[in-house]
């Protein structure tokens, strides 16, 4: 019997060494810039720096504006009534003068009469100041009961007024322009109930 030898293919066991052409290739470098391109990049960088500075200034201005607006809101809330109080100070002065007049009056009757006249003048002055600020008095006497403006505190059985009409105003109501501040406290008419049958 003859032995047949079958040739086996050769396998490379050693790692392939880099070819000398690849090893000597230059490393990729940035392309050379022309003087015109370099100047354009410098101009753009300067503009970017300018925009950045402007952005920082604008952000600082906005932050300052927010702080100033918050401070002004607080001050406005604290001193919102300053103008009204300034108008009311003369009324307070007149009250004090009226009180001083009653204490120094020689004749008691003269003191009472001057006090009544002084109080009437002060009341008119106070009403004028409040009317300037938009305060409006609600006159409910003799008018139909309106739950939007009136507060019924009791009812009165009567034939002198139709049912649902205000027969007496106990406390005045007030509006500030179109807004109700305080409803008028009123007594409302009610039909007389039938007498009990005997």
Give the H/E segment covering residue 43. helix 35-78
**CA 25, CA 32: separation in Å to the nearest integer?**
18
In a domain, 95, yes or no: no
Task: Return the pLDDT at 34.
Answer: 87
Number of domains in the chain: 1
Mean pLDDT of 165-176: 92
pLDDT in tens, 51-105: 999 999 999 999 999 999 999 998 887 777 788 878 888 888 888 887 777 666 5
**CA 131, CA 3: separation in Å to the nearest integer?**
133
What is the number of other CB atoms lying within 10 angstroms of the CB of residue 144?
13
Residue with tokens 């050769």: 10
Task: Return the pLDDT at 159.
Answer: 86
What does pLDDT average to over the chain? 81
Task: Return the pLDDT at 14.
Answer: 46
In a domain, 176, yes or no: yes
**CA 114, CA 97: separation in Å to the nearest integer?**
11
In a domain, 69, yes or no: no
Which CATH number covers residue 146? 2.30.22.10
Of 132, 118, 134, nearest to 180 (Cα)?
134
Query: Residue 189: what are its φ and ψ, rounded to 5°?
Result: -70, 145
**CA 94, CA 122: separation in Å to the nearest integer?**
7
In a domain, 148, yes or no: yes
Task: Return the pLDDT at 154.
Answer: 92
Indicate whether this model's pTM tops 0.85: no
In a domain, 18, yes or no: no
The count of residues in the chain is: 198
Please indicate whether residue 106 or residue 126 has the higher confidence score (pLDDT): 126
**CA 195, CA 190: separation in Å to the nearest integer?**
15
Task: Return the pLDDT at 27.
Answer: 52
pLDDT at 195 > cutoff 80: no
In a domain, 16, yes or no: no
In a domain, 172, yes or no: yes
Residue with tokens 């008095």: 137
Mean pLDDT of 156-174: 90
In a domain, 168, yes or no: yes
Domain with 177, as residue range(s), is 136-193
Please indicate whether residue 44 or residue 31 has the higher confidence score (pLDDT): 44
Most confident of 8-12, 40-44, 194-198: 40-44
């Amino acid at each position: 019997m003859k032995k047949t030898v079958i040739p086996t293919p050769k396998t490379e066991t050693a790692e392939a060494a880099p070819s000398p052409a690849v090893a000597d290739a230059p490393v990729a470098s940035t392309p050379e810039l022309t003087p015109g391109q370099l100047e354009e990049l410098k101009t753009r960088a300067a503009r970017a720096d300018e925009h950045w500075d402007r952005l920082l200034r604008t952000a600082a201005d906005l932050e300052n504006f927010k702080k100033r607006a918050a401070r002004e809101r607080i001050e406005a809330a604290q001193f919102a009534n300053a103008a009204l109080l300034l108008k009311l100070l003369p009324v307070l002065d007149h009250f004090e003068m009226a009180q001083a007049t009653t204490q120094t009056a020689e004749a008691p009757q003269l003191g009472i009469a001057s006090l009544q006249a002084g109080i009437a003048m002060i009341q008119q002055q106070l009403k004028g100041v409040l009317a300037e600020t938009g305060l409006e008095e609600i006159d409910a006497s003799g008018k139909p009961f309106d739950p939007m403006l009136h507060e019924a505190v009791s009812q009165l059985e009567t034939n002198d007024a139709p049912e649902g009409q205000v027969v007496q105003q106990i406390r005045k109501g007030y509006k500030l322009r179109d807004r109700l501040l305080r409803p008028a406290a009123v007594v409302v008419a009610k039909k007389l109930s039938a007498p009990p049958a005997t």
